[in-house]
A = this chain, B = another copy of it.
Amino acid sequence: MKVGILLFEDFETLDVFGPVEILGRLKDHYQVSFYSQSGGLVKNTHGVAIDTKPLESIIGGIDIFLIPGGFGTRKEVNNNTLIDAIKQISELSKYILTVCTGSALLAKTGLLDNRIATSNKRAFDWVITNGKNVQWIRKARWTVDDKYYASSGVSAGMDMTLGFLQDRHGEAFAKDVAFQIEYHWQEDKDNDDFL
């Protein structure tokens, strides 16, 4: 399956590279690429810069579309061109995964209306203003509603990605990946220690 990761200025480092570590190492199943609104180099304030392809190259959808969070989302929720592209790609993609405040961007499209979703607990009160008809779940490590997965803050993106693997490949498969990267997977999506 092809995995498209959305980047924008000031994305959160681990929101992106936690899931990339997990999916990227499963080369027989997943192939990771990075995208941004116009393509080219996208930077964040942690000193990380990644080259991206333009979003229009996946405007017809992709197998897995991952939307990270970060301070950049505060600006991007008002970027109508980006929100429209996220909407079109998400409608046509098989799975949409959001990490942290990435759910604010997806909520802004309206596609999460009447669906459950969660987000970073430190930014929760801001995130929910971007989707008044979303059934926001405050206490959750991650949520699943049909093809939409949403994780809590930063590190929770790894737990959600392992949960996604469990849903696709079974529990033993996901546990083996966690073991390979020596990661203590929090398997219970409904538990949340960071409220």
Contacts and interface: CB of A to CB of B under 8 A. Distances in A.
A39 interface: no
A184 B182 contact: no
A46 B25 contact: yes
Contacts of A45: 24, 27
B153 A181 contact: yes
A18 B158 CA distance: 11
A156 interface: yes
Interface string A16-27: 111011001101
B20 A47 contact: yes
Nearest to A48: B20
A142 to B, nearest CB: 11
A130 interface: no
A46 B32 contact: yes
A16 B180 CA distance: 16
Interface of A: 12-14, 16-18, 20-21, 24-25, 27, 31-34, 45-51, 120-122, 152-156, 179-184, 186, 193-194
23 contacts: A14-B181, A17-B17, A17-B48, A18-B18, A24-B45, A24-B47, A27-B45, A32-B46, A32-B47, A34-B47, A48-B50, A49-B50, A50-B50, A120-B182, A153-B182, A154-B181, A154-B182, A155-B182, A155-B183, A155-B184, A179-B194, A184-B186, A184-B193
